[in-house]
Amino acid sequence: MMRHQTPTPEDLCAIVIGHVDYSEHDRIVRLLSAEHGLISAMARGALRPKNKTFSHSLDIGNRIRISINRSKTPGALWKLKEASLEKACHRARQSLFKTALLTYCCEVISMLAQPENEEPKLFALLSKVIEQLNAAGEGFGDRYRIAVELKSLAFCGLTPTLRRCVACTEPLEDNYRFYKVEGGIFHNKCLPKRAQVLSPQRSELDDLLGVEISEAWRQAALLTLYSPLEQSIGINMPPGPKWLFSEMIEQYRQRQIRSKNFLLSLEKL
């Protein structure tokens, strides 16, 4: 008779990007690791007041060292055995806006990361975001958020086409629009066939008719995409669409970024 072998836990570094309280004492945690990408894991007893196994480390934005058992079935919950805090987000959480931006960045990256696949670039990006938000200082405006969106798209193979027309591949001329569905710029003369036959009711067909962008905004987006993240701190974008790449992510994933509304509400204050 064969004995049942207890699986050996893996030791990893991970970032908490979300969680749901499953019961009075348990929590389902969403994690991002370089080795395994997006992981959903059950943390039994995490909400018990005197729990020492997780040491109150399972808050969004925390970088933690974990011991975890992989699920036997792809897509099923992993089992979180232990967790200890490597880097907390205490400073960022002292600012309501930074907390909202941190939550937004975690959700954006979680929407683009692949479950149970290597994601070293997205892990490094989110680590850098947390490090910068946790540092003292301000200047985390639209350009910084757009930088996170652009780099997240690029690292998962969805780099927006900003240098040439998607249709004809020629250098850009005057009169062009960005199409969220295709993730790139089209000359007006190269409009997708589906847009040419539609009624121009922009409020209903904005995703099909495209978004107008200026040359200054396009150049700023290109520079933001290919520059280090820290160079977007304290710098404003030219006038233009503030949430274009956020909407591109939503279009790709076919669902809204839930944390966006909270961030929008703070920007209006």
> What is the C-alpha to C-alpha distance for residues 178 and 209, in angstroms, rounded to an integer?
9
Residues whose CB is less than 8 angstroms from the CB of residue 157 and which lie 6 or more positions away in sequence, other chains included: none
Would you state the pLDDT for residue 164?
94
Domains of the chain in sequence order: 10-87 (2.40.50.140), 90-269 (1.20.1440.120)
DSSP character for 7?
A: P
Q: What is this structure's pTM?
A: 0.90
Residues whose CB is less than 8 angstroms from the CB of residue 114 and which lie 6 or more positions away in sequence, other chains included: 37, 38, 156
DSSP character for 255?
A: S
pLDDT tens digits, one per residue of 3-23: 556 678 899 999 999 999 988
> What is the C-alpha to C-alpha distance for residues 142 and 38, in angstroms, rounded to an integer?
26
Would you state the pLDDT for residue 5?
61
Residue 29's CB: how many other CB atoms inside 10 A? Answer: 29
55-to-7, 60, 66, 197 alpha-carbon distances in Å:
23, 14, 11, 60
Share of the chain above pLDDT 90, in %: 69
pLDDT tens digits, one per residue of 131-152: 999 987 888 999 999 999 999 9
147-to-16, 68, 69, 79, 93 alpha-carbon distances in Å:
21, 32, 34, 34, 21
pLDDT tens digits, one per residue of 167-218: 888 999 888 999 998 899 999 888 765 565 555 554 455 566 689 999 999 9
Residues whose CB is less than 8 angstroms from the CB of residue 210 and which lie 6 or more positions away in sequence, other chains included: 177, 178, 179, 180, 186, 191, 195
Q: Cβ(148)–Cβ(108) under 8 Å?
A: yes
